[in-house]
A and B are shown apart, each in its own frame.
Chain A
Amino acid sequence: MTILEAAPAPYLKPLPEVRPENQPFFDALRNHQFVVPRCEDCGDYNWVPYPACRSCLSENQAWTPVSGDATLYTFTVCHRGPGAFGAEVPYVIALGELVEQPRPCLVLGNLVGSAIEDIRVGMPLSIAYQEIPGEDITMWRWVARS
């Protein structure tokens, strides 16, 4: 598991709104765990979280820790960014496909710590955790898995 240095202050990029229905996810991030709703009836993981399982429509889902291991499905290097992201270009947005299957979970996040020229579709990734200064939240990032 990778725990990144805390983000520099002040942190001005958008952050998720924590509400009762997503509180378990952000509580888990604080404990450096990435949890995904898993259907207790058919066993499929579902990302992004939805109120019911996409495979069988069961509402009986449980926040389940995953390995955080993934494969880079695709990415983009952004040279223009909205809001505070504009000051951080170039930055990388990546979709990592979790190793947990069979229903694929493509998780979007910023890929950090890799030289841009080293980034390739198909490379192994893992989820890393980053504290946000002055905010009561931990965020997830993608990093290259060695």
Chain B
Amino acid sequence: MPFPQRQAAIVGVYTTKQGKLPERTSFSLQLEAIRGALDDAGLTTGDIDGLLPMSMTDIVPGTTAHQFWAEQLGERPLGLVEVGGASGQLAKAAASIAAGLTDVAVLFFGRAGGRTGPSGTPAAKVRAPRVADDWSFATAGGYMTSWYAMWAQRYMHEFNVTNADLAEVAVFTRYHATLNPDSVMGRKGEITVDDVLASRFVCEPLHLLDCSIDNDGGYAVVIASAERARDCRKKPVWILGGAEAYYTDFYATINDPWFPNQGKSVRKATDRAFGLAGISRDDIDVAGLYDCFTITTIRDLEEMGFCKLGEGADYVKEGHLRLGGSMPTNTDGGLLSNSHCGDPSGMHTIEVVRQLRGECGDRQVPGAQLGVSLQQGWAVHGMASTLVMAVD
């Protein structure tokens, strides 16, 4: 059975204020996001029949969060729960909607107060803490940035890429953020390659401005059947194709070689997503590609097949990703300059939806009709998913 193209659509999106939100809780951000995305769609909480939780609330831990939310959203039975990364969850929800398992599902996330970076871990005062991560990571002082830094170091070694090459990614995404009034970093203005190189190192070779920001925020996306979508408030953004792929364990190890020609999980998810969508990469008008660090964007492009292995940095320098280029990417400023609110994997999809609806003001890509979002993470490119979207 082919992927059910145009049988499900994103009908509502919402982002809360992003930034430092000390007065908020994760729960209240999630609830605001769910309500906001439903309102964007012209739906109410009573319409929700499926949950795509990005993460759990700060009220209940672990895998029972969906039951918590089912109760909270009106104590009604829900037809579907899907976990994973946002693009893949939405792809699976689209397939489920077409198969009749659910009609309206909501993807949501919100975080207040926590920090993803090293400042989120307090120092022990008296005795060494014991961690279940036996072999690596915590006991060596590792955190997410250190893994992406090691990835960048090896990549630079194999492909003769420089710090200045990486910096180009931060430069164009900051430019985009300056055109997004809701972005965290846009008001600070544009940056240059020299600014990136002059910022302090976090984990060499990554400078501070090679890293995403680390802020609070929430977001939600509502996906619905074609029948429901036609009655919604906004133009439906159809799901053409999508897929997910999983590779490594969680920041434990990544097998050698790190850069095989045949690609890894991002390649698998993207090949499958485009195959199901029945369009080619050249058709894409606007993209949202996961950019937790500058190196990530470069590798996304190669793994997704927008350019060849080792040519990602050149592809960025050629200007394809900048507004006005052949495939404007992360037009909201991305995770580097718009928002990284803990688990931001739905943010790229939301910006692509807004572009396809023509809602992006100064940063609007004229006539954008076809878009793609890539989510990745949980060890570098370890878990990936791709979603191809279109408007009529």
B153-210 with Cβ < 8 A to chain A: 153-154, 157, 200-206
A66-81 with Cβ < 8 A to chain B: 73-81
Residues of B within 8 A of A87 (CB): 123
B263-289 with Cβ < 8 A to chain A: none
B255 contacts A104, CB within 8 Å? yes
Distance of B31 from chain A, by nearest CB (Å)? 30
Q: Given contacts A12-B123, A77-B201, could you give 12 more A-B pairs where the C-beta distance is less than 8 Å?
A: A48-B134, A48-B135, A75-B150, A78-B141, A79-B201, A81-B118, A83-B118, A83-B123, A93-B146, A106-B254, A107-B253, A108-B135
A106 contacts B134, CB within 8 Å? no
B124 contacts A83, CB within 8 Å? yes
User: Which of A77, A85, A97 is in CB contact (< 8 Å) with B204?
Assistant: A77
- The number of chain A residues with a CB under 8 A from chain B is 46
B153 contacts A76, CB within 8 Å? yes
A16 contacts B118, CB within 8 Å? no
User: Which of B141, B200, B201 is in CB contact (< 8 Å) with A82?
Assistant: B141
Given contacts A76-B203, A86-B118, A95-B150, contact A106 B140 (CB under 8 A): no
Distance of A120 from chain B, by nearest CB (Å)? 9
B249 contacts A74, CB within 8 Å? no
User: Which of B119, B127, B139 is in CB contact (< 8 Å) with A10?
Assistant: B127
B113-144 with Cβ < 8 A to chain A: 117-143
Residue among B140, B146, B151 with the highest chain A CB neighbour number at 10 A: B140
A16 contacts B256, CB within 8 Å? no
User: What interface size band does chain B fall in?
Assistant: 35 or more
Which chain A residue lies CB-closest to B211?
A80
User: Which of B130, B133, B141, B206 is in CB contact (< 8 Å) with A93?
Assistant: B141
Q: Could you jot down 19 A-B contacts, CB within 8 Å?
A: A12-B126, A13-B128, A13-B141, A15-B130, A15-B139, A17-B134, A47-B253, A73-B256, A74-B258, A79-B203, A81-B118, A82-B138, A83-B118, A83-B122, A106-B256, A108-B140, A109-B140, A121-B154, A122-B157
User: Which of B138, B145, B153 is in CB contact (< 8 Å) with A14?
Assistant: B138
- Tell me if B11 counts as interface (CB < 8 A to partner A): no
B121 contacts A82, CB within 8 Å? yes
Residues of A within 8 A of B254 (CB): 106
- Tell me if A43 counts as interface (CB < 8 A to partner B): no
- Tell me if B60 counts as interface (CB < 8 A to partner A): no
A110 contacts B256, CB within 8 Å? no
- Tell me if B252 counts as interface (CB < 8 A to partner A): yes
- Tell me if B226 counts as interface (CB < 8 A to partner A): no
A79 contacts B135, CB within 8 Å? no
Which chain B residue lies CB-closest to A16?
B134
- Tell me if A132 counts as interface (CB < 8 A to partner B): yes
Distance between Cα atoms of A139 and B136 in the complex (Å): 11
Distance of A16 from chain B, by nearest CB (Å)? 4
Distance between Cα atoms of A120 and B125 in the complex (Å): 35
Distance of A9 from chain B, by nearest CB (Å)? 10
Distance of B127 from chain A, by nearest CB (Å)? 7
A15 contacts B128, CB within 8 Å? yes
Distance between Cα atoms of A106 and B142 in the complex (Å): 15
Distance of A137 from chain B, by nearest CB (Å)? 9
A84 contacts B123, CB within 8 Å? yes
